[in-house]
Structure 1
Amino acid sequence: MTPSDTTISNESGMAKRLFRYALTAKGTFITALILLAIGVAAELAGPFIAKTMIDEHILGIERPYYETSQAQGASSYNGTYYKREDRFQEGETKGQEVRLVQAGRSFYFIDEPVARTEGNRSFKDGIISISYGSEELQYSAVKLTKEQLFQFYKPEIPSIYKLVGLFLICLLISMITVFGRTYWLQSAANRVIQKLRTDVYAHIQRLPVNFFDNLPAGKVVSRVTNDTEAVKDLFVAVLSNFSSGAVYITGVYVALFLLDVRLGLISLFVIPMLVVWTILYRKFATKYNTVIRSRLSEINAIINESIQGMAIIRVFRRQKATQEEFEALNADYMAHQNKMLNLNSFTTHNLVNVLRNVSFVVVLWYFGSASLNGAGIVSIGVLYAFVDLLGRMFQPITGMVNQLAALDTSIVSAKRVFELMDETGEKVTDGSMPRYLGNVEFQDVSFAYKKDYVLKNISFEAKQGQTVALVGHTGSGKSSIINLLFRFYDPQKGTITIDGQPVTDIPKQWLRKHMGIVLQDPYLFTGTIASNVSLGDPSITREQVEQALRDVGADRLLAHLPQGFDEPVLEKGSTLSAGQRQLISFARALAFNPAILILDEATANIDTETEALIQEALEVLKRGRTTFIIAHRLSTIRSADQILVLHRGEIVEQGSHDELMALGGRYFKMYQLQQGSTPSISENKETVMAASNSNMAGGHV
């Protein structure tokens, strides 16, 4: 399959997906399209009304007139009544035939039949001459005054008023349908994009954690906001212009063929021109728009990263370097925007105007000159209606061409959105499972994020109510064990069980429902202290929230706040101290009453007095709950039931604090260093080398 075939196939599949989303508001879209059709019909009725007015009532006075004895519906001239031939009723007697003929700007009365009115006309010395080819006819004629001419127009005025009224009604219908079409299309588009954005955000919630390791948050945000907004333009501006344009052009062609088949056939050149135009435009525009959308997401990513790390940027004086990186992206973004601007300038409404004017010149030169000199190829009314319709046809073409940029941008954005939605997400299983006891067992577990194993043959058992501490140098695999327990990842070898059941047999949502975690750097959401504890879970009552906060001693540290537990919290809890944020995070975990509690260096950012409060609460709250503690401060885990000492992904020591101290191995040396004791020089050297080698091994923790 060639690249072009692949592109067509991808766009076809994407069009089907967009169409399925459009079906979510099909009733509104159908209503808008019906209003569109009614509006187009009402608007295109205008040229036909004008044609009738010109041919039947304005230029129609050149048709034969006959003397009549009835004054109703007749014109008076020199005391005699005359009525146009098509105004006579059936059985009404016709008298002598007379004609009105225009020469120059004046009309002349001829008191006899005229064999031919087509051709060049001239008036001199009471004689009007009509020449057509080599033939010339002459008739005696009298010039009509304005008052006399008005007498012949007078019977036509009621019909002209009716046509003007009909035109105004069509104009009113067109205005109402334009409003309705715009409103319903906008309404339908908003509903579709709401559905699309909801689905994208819901899918993000299902994506595995490792997906976000490789994609900056700003790029994800750009796809959920900017790209879906660009897709909205597809349903609002693009769909509106292309659907209305298609209906309008179809209606114009029907009208043109009804007016004159020859004029309609000549106008068909527009269709292939529009198709070729669109294909050539998109060939270049897609390339530019792909880069533009990519650069926009990269700009969002760097802005998000800069705001998150503003303190670090300023402390290390990286403002200039960060700004240069931003300016480079911004300059590339502007360069491709200028390429799109040049492309649009060459291929949009200016070119349409040129083609429209050329079309007018050709039609007027060929058909108009013949009509004006009397050759009579088409009537003046037909010519006027054709010029009017041709002008109306190029209006939607201009709108469609001007939306080619938005069309291509929308398609590129839709592709980026659907690429995100095509990422494999975690299966969502409805329901829940009863709270498990929390007996955890690792059996010969080995795990690698990429190629190299960061955990090797890990085996241990944590029984309900026990506290298990994980210690070791950076990169030893402590956090990887927790990641496997949460099923952020699954091991390549071995088995992890909870209460004897393999975790791979338990839906991830059910498994995590009975787990809680407290991170070293707690994350708080915008809201209040109480809402950050319950996270909006309706099953957690206000009483449980307050009890959890009291259990961790938060009532003492937060009592001075004006609104207590209802104190507003800004993003990331920037107005609270590190200790206060940690206490709120700890209360959050306790409020959910987990069967398994993970503390990831949870007391590292808390002062000694606050840590003592938490340690007291922990002794009560750990009962009946399996607790895993990742700790660097070994003094905080002395009471742990089991301590696992990890080194390069392996458990090198295992036991209680006293057992490991008595063993005199790696844990003993680490503890002695932290307590300020001085092991032998050889012991110090071994410990430092071990830490250095562990850091060099690197990897995820």
Structure 2
Amino acid sequence: MNKGKRLVRYATDQKRYVIPGVICLALAVAADLAGPLIAKRIIDDHIAGSEGGGMEFAPILMLLAVFMGLAVVTAVFRYAEYLLLQKGANRIIQKMRNEVYGKIQTLPVRYFDNLPAGKVVARITNDTEAIRDMYVTVLSQFATSGMYMIGIFAALLYLEPAMGAITLLLIPVLYIWMLSYRKYASKYNRIIRGKVSDLNAMINEAIQGMTIIQAFRREKQMEQEFNELNDEHFKYNNKLLFLDSATSFNLVDVLRSMTFIAFILYFGNVALSAPAAISVGALYAFVDYITRLFNPITGIVNQFSRLEHSLVAAERVFELLDQEGEDVSDEKIARYRGNVRFENVWFAYKDEEYVLKGIDFEAKQGETVALVGHTGSGKSSIMNLLFRFYDPSEGRIVIDGTDITKLSRQTVRDHMGIVLQDPYLFTGTILSNISLDDPRISREDVERALEAVGGDRVLKNLPGGIDAPVVEKGVTLSAGQRQLVSFARALAFDPAILILDEATSNIDTETEEIIQHAMDVLKKGRTTFVIAHRLSTIKNADRILVLDKGEIVESGSHDQLLAYGGQYAQMYKLQAGTQATGKIG
């Protein structure tokens, strides 16, 4: 379905506003356009056509009263039309934004890998606002102008069919001009919308990375890069401005002049010659209608730019809505026992650039399995697959005998908990960040989870306790505090499978000891996967898997791997030596 039909479908979904609004618009136009006909009757019947040169004021006053009454009727119906169509437009955009945001929730993580957050935000906010502008202003203006033009053409054909037919030539001229305008404006608008997304992405990135920018004194460089991008945006806006300037009033003025030339030639040579002379009242009405005709024409021409701007925005929004997503499932399954098995798993983020090669291991219920290796060895990729952020390219992952790809992503994650290296906190409170407003998790559950991880001792000094406010990403909290909140969040959901992805890498030694003590108790009955660079934190793991370039090169307990004398032993000795040196120094 093309974007035009889809935009119409959104409008028809709000027919309870649109249809009454269009009816009110039609009545307002009819009442407004009746004015010149009343003026014609006053002039022909009671002024120019009065007998004996006198005028009867009673019928003139009556017709003037009708004229004023029609003006009031026009105002009332225009008010109702505006209100209804604006409500309809707001409802359409409300629905569209909900659909776009809902679609984002269903898109796989892979979609966001190469798409900056600012570009996604631009589609939800800027592009939908441009579409709203189309419904509120552009289509409203087109509908109003279209009805006025139909009414005026009908009146002109009624008053003088031949001259009325001549004015109809304006319609193909406008249509051809619109097609010509769109040919160039569409190109410019696509570039402009793209640049707006790029600007949003750069601003979003700069705000998030402001600490690094200022720490490394990159303010001027960032400003220069922004200025270059902004200059590109300015250049194409200027091109569109030149195109708009060549149309709008210039086009309308040319058409108006041509129409009045045709009007003068026609009535000068044909209509005023006997016996085809036109009455003074009809001549006045004809001039009035022609004058009025160019108001809606100006309105339509002036909206060409906004229309094209909105259509390009709609194209970008529909492109996102057309992305293949997965329905969010509410299906529930019984709590896992926690037996996890990777069977010859291969995985690549891009084509056949495999980051995991033939991964084969099993974690039994209640076991703690640690994953170690150099950066880029594939540790986090294994956890991404287990959580179904991605699916294996080859092989399969089985939990309690069930291939996880046979279940919806939400169902797979229902009994899993995860703590990331860089925990994300949402705007709200400590309480809402741990419970995530899940009705199954009470305030008491949150307090117990915090106590279990030792977070109550660290967070107790915050004003308001667990009701302390949290700003975006929790930037007012320390790294250790954020990590403890994230840890308590995972435990509050009582997962059967717990994943700790570098969970202790960003916290101080004291906080690490708090978490380590809690973990010895909390791991009971749970299958736990730990990714760690600090090898001292995984000495008690049931099994340690050493990865190198996407392959498992060593497997065993801490003592076994030390005795083996391979990569793990080298890494452990290196870290132990570094720590010893640090203590001596």
Query: Normalization by structure 1: what TM-score?
Result: 0.81
Which consecutive residues of structure 1, in runs of 5 or more, have no partner in the other structure? 1-11, 62-83, 85-99, 101-148, 679-701
**3-state DSSP of counterpart to 1:186:** helix
1:408 lines up with 2:397 in the alignment = no
Q: How does 1:34-433 map to 2 (within 5 A)?
A: 34-61=23-50, 84=51, 100=52, 149=53, 152-153=54-55, 156-367=56-267, 377-433=277-333
Between 1:314-323 and 1:167-176, the stretch displaced more is: 314-323
Q: Name the amino acid aligned to 1:58.
A: I
Counterpart position of 1:627: 528
CA distance in structure 1 between the aligned counterparts of 2:21 and 2:335, rounded to whole angstroms: 52
Shift of 1:429: 2.9
Indicate if the aligned counterparts of 2:144 and 2:296 stay in contact, CA closer than 8 A: yes
Unaligned runs of 5+ in 2: 580-585
Name 1:615's counterpart in structure 2: 516
SS across alignment from 1:429: coil
1:31 pairs with 2:43 = no
Instruction: Determine the structure 2 residue equivalent to 1:538.
Output: 439
Partner of 1:20: 9
Equivalent residue number for residue 490 of structure 1: 391
Say which of 668, 672, 675 aligns to 2:576.
Answer: 675
Once residues 166 and 555 of structure 2 are traced to their aligned partners in structure 1, the CA distance between those partners, rounded to angstroms, is 91
The one-character-per-residue Cα deviations of 1:396-417 (angstroms, maximum 9, x if unpaired) are 1111111110100010000001
Give, in angstroms, the shift of residue 372 of structure 1. Answer: 7.4
What CA distance in whole angstroms lies between the structure 2 residues aligned with 1:441 and 1:235?
A: 54
Which of 529, 537, 541 pairs up with 1:640? 541
Higher relative contact order (CA 8 A, sep 6+): 2
Paired position in structure 1 for 2:336? 436
Please report the RMSD computed on the Cα atoms of aligned residues, expressed in angstroms.
1.7
What one-letter code is carried by the residue in structure 2 that aligns with 1:545?
V
Say whether the 8 Å CA contact 1:597–1:627 is kept in structure 2: yes
Report if the CA contact (8 A) 1:371-1:379 is conserved: no
Give distance in 2, aligned partners of 1:568 and 1:31.
Answer: 47
Q: Report how far residue 361 of structure 1 moved.
A: 3.6
CA distance in 2, matches of 1:623, 1:649: 29
Map 1:555-570 → 2, pairs under 5 A? 555-570=456-471
1:465 to 362, 366, 381: 366
Aligned residues: 579
Native 8 Å contact 1:371 1:380 kept in 2: no
Give the match for residue 520 of structure 1: 421
**Could you list the per-position Cα deviations for residues 311-355 of structure 1 after superposition, in whole angstroms to 9, with x for gaps in the alignment?**
111122221221111111111111111111111111102321332
Distance in 2 (alpha carbons) for counterparts of 1:554 and 1:650: 36
Shift in Å, 1:365: 4.5
User: C-alpha distance in 1, partners of 2:542/2:178?
Assistant: 72
Determine the structure 1 residue equivalent to 2:582.
none
The correspondence for 2:551, drawn from 650, 672, 695, is 650
**When you count strand as a share of all residues, which structure comes out higher?**
1
Counterpart residue number, 2:562: 661
Query: What SS is found at the alignment partner of 2:369?
Result: strand
SS for the counterpart of 2:48 is helix
Q: How does 1:490-509 map to 2 (within 5 A)?
A: 490-509=391-410
Can you list the C-alpha shifts for 1:19-78, whole angstroms capped at 9, x where unaligned? Answer: 2211221110001100010001000100100110111111012xxxxxxxxxxxxxxxxx
CA drift at 1:299: 0.6
**Aligned mates of 1:573, 1:429 — CA distance in 2:** 29
The separation in 1 between residues aligned to 2:48 and 2:12, in whole angstroms, is 51
The amino acid of 1:345's aligned partner reads S
CA apart distance, 1:368: 5.6
Letter in 2 for 1:14: K
Which amino acid is the alignment partner of residue 410 of structure 1? S
Query: Shift of the alpha carbon at 1:467?
Result: 0.7
1:446 and 1:494 in contact (8 A); partners too: yes
Distance 1:469 1:667 in 2: 12
What is the CA-CA distance between 1:645 and the residue it aligns to?
Answer: 0.6
Q: Distance in 2 between matches of 1:429 and 1:264?
A: 62
Q: TM-score, normalised by structure 2?
A: 0.96
Q: 1:477-500, CA deviations, whole angstroms, 9 ceiling, x for partnerless residues?
A: 101100110111111221210001
Distance 2:259 2:293 in 1: 12
Aligned to 1:64: none
- Deviation for aligned residue 1:370: 7.2
Which residue is equivalent to 1:139?
none
Determine helix, strand or coil for the equivalent of 2:552: strand
Q: Is the 8 A contact 2:163 2:266 kept in 1?
A: no
Conserved 8 A contact 1:360-1:387:
no
- Amino acid of the residue matched to residue 505 of structure 2? A
1:596-630 CA deviation, whole Å, 9 max, x = no partner? Answer: 11111111122222111111211221111111000
Letter in 2 for 1:671: Y
Q: Match of 1:382, SS?
A: helix
Give 1:276's aligned amino acid: I
Cα distance between partner residues in 1 of 2:344 and 2:192: 49
Bigger Rg, structure 1 or 2: 1
Pairwise CA distance, 1:520: 1.2
Structure 1 375/362 Cα, relative in aligned 2: closer, same or farther at 3 Å?
farther
Secondary structure of the structure 2 residue equivalent to 1:214: coil
Partners of 1:215 and 1:677 in 2: CA distance:
39
Deviation at 1:160, TM superposition (A): 0.5
Q: 2-side partners of 1:200 and 1:252: how far apart?
A: 41
Secondary structure at the aligned position of 1:643 is classed as strand
* Structure 2 Cα separation of the partners of residues 559 and 646 of structure 1: 40
CA distance in 2, matches of 1:556, 1:430: 36
Larger helix proportion, structure 1 or 2? 2
- SS of 1:676's equivalent in the other structure is helix
User: What is aligned with 1:9?
Assistant: none
Write the letter of the residue equivalent to 2:293. Answer: M
The letter for the 1-side match of 2:291 is G
SS in 2 for 1:536: coil
